[in-house]
Chains A and B, each alone.
Chain A
């Protein structure tokens, strides 16, 4: 099968504005596939807008190549390229002297569609914007900011553009209006399978909408990845700061697995003597031992209480062993087992793999660490440290 070319591809792209020596963006390479919702995120001045505007040639490319559907944007007829790409900017950019109807069908009109088709399209799109049809004959100034931006969004779909560029489209809206607009865009994108390039400086917005996030800083590409990847494996301190302390520790807590916090078990072989067991308890300062067979399979446990009671009469660990019901697997999420571990009478819960081989224990003490980090954040990356301990 021939691989489909990506909707947009940046190939080692650098942009230097005339009159400035510093490149606004440099050596940027990444791809945006069809149907992806790609958020460009970064602080102000990081080059998000510059990068986005090179796609429809609102900015020229200084070095490198920008490809749309596998074709260098320079090879397109400028006007045709732009008519094929939807364009939404922050302050909606509606024509104040045109009615909503005229605004919506502006691109189809430039493309010289017949008149009946224009009206049909206007009616179809105002429905999509979830606004009454009577608004078609109003002027932009007669609509609220959120309503205007709804028109701005659907206008970008009027000529059935498959690629839509949006530059902080909801930046100027209040949080509630912003959320409803985000939902609108998300629904449209999912229903219609459009490819969207969306500039934002709001990580919440990016995490909510994106299927791919591109992090920029000082004109350089820092990280490209899915929201999950960005959230759970931020490339560096800068990405972490974009995500924010709170969301970061939340995310970490969310994804801590049992294997990340388990510690080495104190265990004894089924065939060992009670003398050995007693000595091990004393040495390790524990009152129970997990019992395994020669292949490390978990068989049960023994406790100091039973040992004391039966000591002279029996001599082997297997004679006083009790069965264990509760175990967890190493790949299970800690958050799903939290209460189970805490509510158990014992101090710990054994971790066994698929073959019931004992690989560790989760103690109440290790839960304390996790909660501590979730609430107070952490100085060192928690999961990595714990992983080290576990291995």
Chain B
């Protein structure tokens, strides 16, 4: 089959299954986002909490590192044994993987806030909460968002694999392609939007990172 043939097939596929692809695109996106959001809800407070104690901080980051070293397919399978097939299994896996970059970056961000600034905030009579939301969070926002960005890109990759445990999404299209004879065009039809999504997520969060960066810190 000629190269042109592949692209023709690819376009043909999109012409006839456009709405299906879009639906799977959304599904992958939402699974990834949910996973990352759960991880953020858990991970950011953990990161803030452990930044007060270096020993605890290192310990927790070690655990998150350990989770990260488990191959994603293996972790997915282990969780599937516990939770069965379906979308929740994927979301939990994504959450577990997202924890590391989120906790690590929150921890690093919090730690890297200038000690002098914290000292003067305290010395001027800020309460712990005021210090957190007026000083420590704004000043580590950009590092925290960088963590979310890493998490989201990883999450999109894992969600594509997640189709193996019946979560649906763009991975479904890829699997369909691998099962079909001459399925290259179909594989491409699933893979390309996945890659595109990862790139877009990266761009979007870069933008968000810049936008949320406090003005006084922009160069």
- For B62, the chain A residues whose CB sits under 8 A away are none
B130 to chain A: closest residue by CB: A110
- For A80, the chain B residues whose CB sits under 8 A away are 125
Total residues of chain A contacting the partner, CB 8 A:
27
Decide: A97 and B120 in contact? CB cutoff 8 A.
no
Decide: B138 and A97 in contact? CB cutoff 8 A.
yes
Interface 9-mer from B13-21, B75-83, B156-164, B209-217: B209-217
Complex interface bits, B107-121 against A, C-beta within 8 A gives 1, otherwise 0: 000000010110111
CA distance A92 to B135 in the complex (A): 15
Q: Whole-angstrom distance from the CB of A68 to the nearest CB of chain B?
A: 14
Partner of B216, one of A82, A92, A96: A96
Decide: B116 and A93 in contact? CB cutoff 8 A.
yes
CA distance A58 to B121 in the complex (A): 11
Total residues of chain B contacting the partner, CB 8 A:
21
Partner of A97, one of B122, B127, B130, B215: B215
A53 to chain B: closest residue by CB: B123
Decide: B117 and A96 in contact? CB cutoff 8 A.
yes
B139 to chain A: closest residue by CB: A97
- For A58, the chain B residues whose CB sits under 8 A away are 119, 122-123
B126 to chain A: closest residue by CB: A110
CA distance A83 to B120 in the complex (A): 11
Q: Which of A196-230 contact B (CB under 8 A)?
A: none
A98 interfacial by beta-carbon distance below 8 Å: yes
- For A106, the chain B residues whose CB sits under 8 A away are 124
CA distance A236 to B139 in the complex (A): 48
- For A93, the chain B residues whose CB sits under 8 A away are 116-117, 119-121, 123
A141 interfacial by beta-carbon distance below 8 Å: yes
CA distance A81 to B127 in the complex (A): 12
Interface residues of B (CB under 8 A from A): 114, 116-117, 119-127, 130, 134-135, 138-139, 214-217
List, sorted by A's number, 20 A–B pairs whose CB atoms are closer than 8 Å.
Answer: A56-B123, A58-B119, A80-B125, A82-B123, A82-B124, A84-B125, A87-B123, A87-B124, A90-B116, A93-B117, A95-B135, A96-B114, A96-B117, A96-B139, A96-B214, A97-B216, A97-B217, A99-B216, A107-B125, A110-B126
Interface residues of A (CB under 8 A from B): 56, 58, 79-84, 87, 89-99, 106-107, 110, 139-141, 165
